[in-house]
Amino acid sequence: MTGQGLLAGKVAMITGASSGIGAAAARLFAAEGAAVVLMARRKDRLEALAGEISAAGGRALAVPGDVTSGGDVRRTVEAAVERFGGLDAAFNNAGYATVEQSLHQTDDEVFDRTIDVNVRGVWNCLRHQVPAMLDSGRGGSVVNTSSVAGRYATGASAPYVAAKHAVLGLTRAAAADYGQKGIRVNALVVGSTRTEMMEQVLEGSAALEEVFVASQIQKRMAAPREVAEAAVWLCSERSSFVTGVAMPVDGGCGAQA
């Protein structure tokens, strides 16, 4: 499993790996030859996934932690370096969203939590991943998960729209800072995808689901793996001249905005 593939020989850190897009990415990165270091808060899920990947012949390490904690993120990067000898790629994908509400009805707590997980989380990751990539002399590739809500006011909650716009800003700033140092930094502009987060946002509403589906040219939601495929490509050498981009994986949603 590790000798060949688009990511053969690479070490990749994936946040939000306990479910949805992150879990699909963990499986796919490993199948493409990467050693994967998995981070999220739910230890049992991470360990089960790491076990599944190892049983299939891959290399995986679960490091439970919270992306809002710089210390937890640093510990995860250190674990990657200690266990697998460095860090070549990162998929900073952990995120938090709430049900849609008007701005004036949204609590300060929701604003703080949404910014903390989505923005500070990516900030913490970049702050600790980049030094490891610079130290190795091998460079690296970082992919941050934004959203169509990072490009447009999609009707998602205002803090989430603001947070995912900020993820694109951090991505571009980091790409500019490290473009000449061998580190590429890109973002995925993700459209509606069938995950636990989506289930929570829909709250069982078939009408809301229809609205989400109708916004895509393809008239369906993505499967998590379809998003993970783009992250694999951006972390691979196949995308060697791609940096600072906000790459849509949105079923054509942005084409008709």
Ligand X SMILES: NC(=O)c1ccc[n+]([C@@H]2O[C@H](COP(=O)([O-])OP(=O)(O)OC[C@H]3O[C@@H](n4cnc5c(N)ncnc54)[C@H](OP(=O)(O)O)[C@@H]3O)[C@@H](O)[C@H]2O)c1
Coil, strand, or helix at residue 191? coil
Contact predicate 125/67, CB 8 Å: yes
Among 97, 125, 174, 234, binds ligand X (CB under 6 A): 97
40 binds ligand X (CB under 6 A): yes
Q: Which residues pair with 39 in a beta bridge?
A: 15
User: CA 135 to CA 36: how far, in whole Å?
Assistant: 19
67 binds ligand X (CB under 6 A): yes
Q: How far is the CB of 240 from ligand X (least distance, A)?
A: 25
Q: How far is the CB of 41 from ligand X (least distance, A)?
A: 3
253 binds ligand X (CB under 6 A): no
Q: Between 23 and 34, name the residue whose CB sits nearer to ligand X.
A: 23
User: CA 87 to CA 78: how far, in whole Å?
Assistant: 9
Helix axes 108-115, 158-178, angle to 10 degrees: 30
Classify residue 120 by its DSSP letter. Answer: I
Using the contact rule CB under 6 A, the part of the chain among 78-86, 125-133, 193-201, 231-239 near ligand X is: 193-201
Q: Is 160 a catalytic residue?
A: yes
Contact predicate 162/177, CB 8 Å: no
Q: Between 167 and 175, name the residue whose CB sits nearer to ligand X.
A: 167
Q: How far is the CB of 53 from ligand X (least distance, A)?
A: 15
The half-sphere exposure of 158 on its side-chain side, counting CA atoms within 13 A, is 11
Question: Which residues here bind ligand X, judged by CB under 6 A?
Answer: 15-22, 40-42, 66-68, 93-97, 117, 145, 147, 190, 192-193, 195-198, 224
Q: Could you give the residue numbers annotated as active site?
A: 160
